[in-house]
Amino acid sequence: MRKSPPTVWIISDDSHRVQQSLALAQALSDNRLIHSASEIDFALQSNSSSPDIIIGTGEQTSAAILQAKEFFKDKPLAVSLLKPQKNMQGFDLIVVPEYEPHEKASNVITSIGLLNKITPALLKGAPLSVDFSAPYIAVLVGGNYIGRSYNEEDMLLFSNELNQLSKLANASLLITTSPRTTTETVSTLTKHVNCEYSLYDYRKEQGAHNPYLSFLNAAEEIVVSEDSIRMICEACSANKPVHIFTTNEGFKPYANLYSQLYELGYAKRFDGQPFGRYVPHSPLNEAERIAAYIKSRML
């Protein structure tokens, strides 16, 4: 049994995907370092001792992970979150979201959605500053995605269902948008919302003073638009009832994940009705679950 915490390297592609690697690294150890994939040569020459685990997310990190593993004579465990496009056999562990197509192999396991750092403990105490009292419903709005953009009909449906839920729950809305949310989407949605709400416009605020964690912490229920897998998974990890807003057309690439979350009790399709009894099978914390797998079977 290992007594000291492992040394973990996070290889970053300098995108939002590094958050998945950070979530797993945090669940594994306090002894961790981040290195950019584009600067892996410098990192290797500057560190004489081998890490125990190297983690990366996305294709841009794969080559750097395997280069570091070879440099340290195969000592570190090489972990890829998301499927690498080549050299799969070079990794000790590959973690693939269950909703994505994947091969069955001895070094491949699946996760429910995307790994993230959200836990009830992290959210606890996140301060909320709004001019109206609880109860609150958090509304997490994404935006344009591959092959489709939200239109006026979509936002009219969304706003009507939000108005209905607000009325039935006697609750105000805490609305936050993402970098992909267009000005037109925000304008159309808020134009038709007829209940009390607070809005954080990510683009307008340029990401500064984001109340995202505060909104998740304060909410009794959470509504998330179908396009954002990251926000859907983070909402489910908050241990709150989650509604997934789907358009009439629907977003088919993530349909398997929606079904899985519905079946496990973490979420339901948004229909303007309160969630009802919320009894998920277990708290959704995939970073902790995958970390426990690595600790018990691989270290």
Kindly report, residue by residue over 208-258, the tens digit of the pLDDT. 899 999 999 999 999 999 999 999 999 999 999 999 999 987 777 889 999
For residue 36, the cross-strand partners are 12
Q: Which residues form the domain of 208?
A: 120-269
Only one residue has tokens 């797993």, namely 24
Rounded-to-integer distance, Cα 228 and Cα 239, Å = 18
Torsion, Cα 250 206 211 222, to 10 degrees, reads 0
In a domain, 204, yes or no: yes
Kindly report, residue by residue over 179-196, the tens digit of the pLDDT. 999 999 999 999 999 999
In a domain, 16, yes or no: yes
Rounded-to-integer distance, Cα 137 and Cα 96, Å = 31
Rounded-to-integer distance, Cα 252 and Cα 232, Å = 15
Shared domain check, 91 and 163: no
CATH code: domain of residue 68: 3.40.50.2300
- List CB contacts of 101: < 8 A, sequence separation 6 or more: none
In a domain, 139, yes or no: yes
Shared domain check, 81 and 155: no
Only one residue has tokens 């009909």, namely 153
Shared domain check, 140 and 98: no
pLDDT < 50 regions, the chain = none
Residue 273 is encoded by which pair of tokens?
A: 């009705």
- List CB contacts of 54: < 8 A, sequence separation 6 or more: 8, 9, 11, 65, 68, 69, 76, 77, 78, 79
The predicted structure's pLDDT at residue 229:
94
The predicted structure's pLDDT at residue 2:
65
In a domain, 94, yes or no: yes
Shared domain check, 59 and 42: yes
Shared domain check, 291 and 255: no
How many domains is the chain partitioned into structurally? 2
Shared domain check, 161 and 107: no
Shared domain check, 156 and 248: yes
Rounded-to-integer distance, Cα 299 and Cα 293, Å = 10
The whole model's pTM is what?
A: 0.94
